């Protein structure tokens, strides 16, 4: 597993732009859903972002409801 580290600035709307190398490494394309978690607190706080395929999740839920 490779470690890719960048420093980004939060804009006035609360957005953070991810560099192209981060997007490629994480398999992120425009429109892809991600789950964002804040883990820990204080100096030991981390932000964890995980790509998610929510379409499959919602589809499987709706199929289960129809049965």
The phi and psi torsions of 25 (rounded to 5 degrees) equal -60, -35
Q: Answer yes or no: is 15 within a domain.
A: no
The confidence band for 3, taking pLDDT boundaries of 50, 70 and 90, is confident
pLDDT of residue 63: 58
30 in any annotated domain: yes
**What would the pLDDT profile of 9-65 be if each residue is shown by its tens digit?**
999 999 999 999 999 988 899 988 888 999 999 999 999 888 887 656 665 665 566
Residue spans of beta strands (DSSP E) within the chain: 33-39, 46-52
Nearest of 67, 60, 28, 58 to residue 36 by alpha carbon = 28
Q: Has residue 4 been placed in a domain? A: no
The whole domain housing 41 covers 20-66
Give domain status of residue 42, yes or no: yes
In this prediction the pTM is: 0.62
Residue 47 makes CB contacts below 8 A (sequence gap 6+) with: 36, 37, 38, 39
State how many domains the chain has: 1
Question: Does residue 2 sit within a domain?
Answer: no
């Amino acid at each position: 597993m490779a470690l890719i580290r960048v420093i980004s600035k939060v804009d006035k709307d609360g957005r953070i732009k991810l560099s192209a190398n981060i997007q490629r490494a994480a398999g992120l394309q425009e429109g892809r859903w991600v789950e964002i978690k804040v883990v820990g607190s204080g100096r030991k706080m981390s932000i964890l972002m995980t790509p998610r395929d929510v379409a499959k999740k919602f589809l499987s839920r709706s199929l289960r409801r129809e049965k």
